[in-house]
Amino acid sequence: MLSDSQVKKKDYGFRYRLTRVADISYIFLTRVFVLFFCLIIIFPLLHVLASSISDPRAIAKGQVHIWPVGLSTIGYSKVFEMSSIWRGYANSFKYVFMELSISMFLIICAAYPLSRREFKGRKAITVLLTISMLFNGGIIPLYMVVQRLGMLNTSWALILPYAWGAFSTTGGAGFNIFMLRNYISGNIAEELYEAGKMDGCTHWRYLFWVILPLSKPILAVLVLLISVGQWNAYFPALMFLSDNKKSPLQLVLVNLLVYYNYGEAALQDPLQYASKKEMSYLLQYSLIIVSSLPMLILYPLIQKHFVKGIMIGAIKG
């Protein structure tokens, strides 16, 4: 018959082994799930990259999966020979820079007062921003406003509506303002403001010398969200611009794909049409890589701040 100490020791050993098995199973299943999830994400990327450097006929026949078939760079050669691509790149960079400058200025100037509890209009403005996140006037009223302001076929038609998130699917500027406000309220000590106030620090100086340097993670997140949103946008340009020389890259790509699929080739002989059709498949993948490259370069530079910023900024202050 076992003594009490032996029973406790045996029971402890059983529980320890059970815990170890549970921990190992949890780690194994977690890693399997993460690996499976990564494969789901990586496979389309490898397929696009392999297709962009493959033979057009192999792509048309569906022979390309994650490894290039008939290695060829003709797709990239065709892309970079087009002057419209370079012009679209320049226009997109210009629109992103202008959008970042205006949007970040508006967001910072709105988020800081809302983070101050002594600001009397804080609740009313918060309600208005919340309403702007949930409702908008629609496309036709927006078009009429842009037309009345004389911004049709100008760069401002793509900048100013975006500055307040007229086309945003994430809640627009209100969402970004709340993220920055929550970050300031929850992560920057009020004692810093009190110390600065005693030394004669104004609100503007406190904002630029204290708040912004300590808010780099959330500012990096906002830069990424605004940049990606403006870079990928093509519908506002389709709606407001009639001059092709002002078209951003995404609209240029859409026009090229439409031309190669439904343009003059459809009126020509079948062999020439088939050749252009094969080239359209290749160009689709080459254009995806070319248009995604700037954002693929930008994301690793901001990624270290992204998770921290978006998690802390989303917490209610």
**Predicted confidence (pLDDT) per residue in 269-281, tens digit:** 555 656 666 777 7
State the pLDDT at residue 31. 75
Asked if pLDDT for residue 162 goes beyond 60, the answer is yes
What's the CA gap between 240 and 155, in Å, rounded? 9
Residue 309 in contact with residue 183, Cβ under 8 Å? Answer: yes
- What's the mean pLDDT in 167-171? 50
- pLDDT digits over 250-263, tens only? 888 888 777 666 65
Q: What mean pLDDT comes out for the span 149-158?
A: 89
Identify which has the larger pLDDT, 252 or 167.
252
pLDDT tens digits for range 88-109: 889 999 999 998 899 899 899 9
Q: How far apart are alpha carbons 132 and 228 in whole angstroms?
A: 21
The mean pLDDT of 281-288, rounded to a whole number, is 82
**252 close to 233: Cβ distance less than 8 angstroms:** no
Q: Counting Cβ atoms within 10 Å, is residue 81 exposed (0-12), middle (13-18) or buried (19+)?
A: exposed
Token pair 């998130």 is at which residue?
Answer: 165
- Cα separation, 100 vs 216, in Å, equals 15
The per-residue pLDDT for 54 is 84
Q: Distance (Å, rounded) from C-alpha 161 to C-alpha 166?
A: 5
Identify the CATH assignment for 84-313 out of 2.60.40.4070, 3.10.180.10, 1.10.3720.10, 3.40.718.10: 1.10.3720.10
Rg from Cα positions in the chain: 27
Give me the pLDDT at residue 307, please: 59
The mean pLDDT of 67-79, rounded to a whole number, is: 81
What confidence score (pLDDT) does residue 2 get?
Answer: 42
Backbone angles phi, psi at 285, to 5 degrees: -75, -40
Q: What is the pLDDT of residue 91?
A: 92
Q: How many CA atoms lie within 13 A of 172 on its CB side?
A: 19
For the chain, the straight-line distance linking the first and the last C-alpha, in angstroms and rounded, comes to: 61
Look at residues 64, 70, 59 and name the one whose alpha carbon lies nearest to residue 46: 64
DSSP 66-98: SS-SS---HHHHHHHH-HHHHHHHHHHHHHHHH
pLDDT in tens, 2-43: 454 544 444 545 454 546 655 666 666 777 777 888 788 888
What is the overall mean pLDDT for the chain? 78
CA distance 309 to 317: 14
What's the confidence (pLDDT) of residue 14? 45
- Which pLDDT score, from 0 to 100, does residue 312 have? 53
| Residue 184: both structure tokens together | 């300031």
The pTM for the full model equals 0.77
Mean pLDDT for 77-81 is 82
CA dihedral 221, 225, 227, 233 (to 10 degrees): 180
CA 185 to chain centroid: 25
Tell whether the model's pLDDT for residue 308 goes beyond 80: no
Confidence of residue 81 (pLDDT cuts 50, 70, 90): confident
Q: What is the DSSP string of 103-118?
A: HHHHHHHHHHHHH-TT
Where does the pLDDT of residue 185 fall: very low under 50, low under 70, confident under 90, or very high at 90 and above? confident
Confidence of residue 297 (pLDDT cuts 50, 70, 90): confident
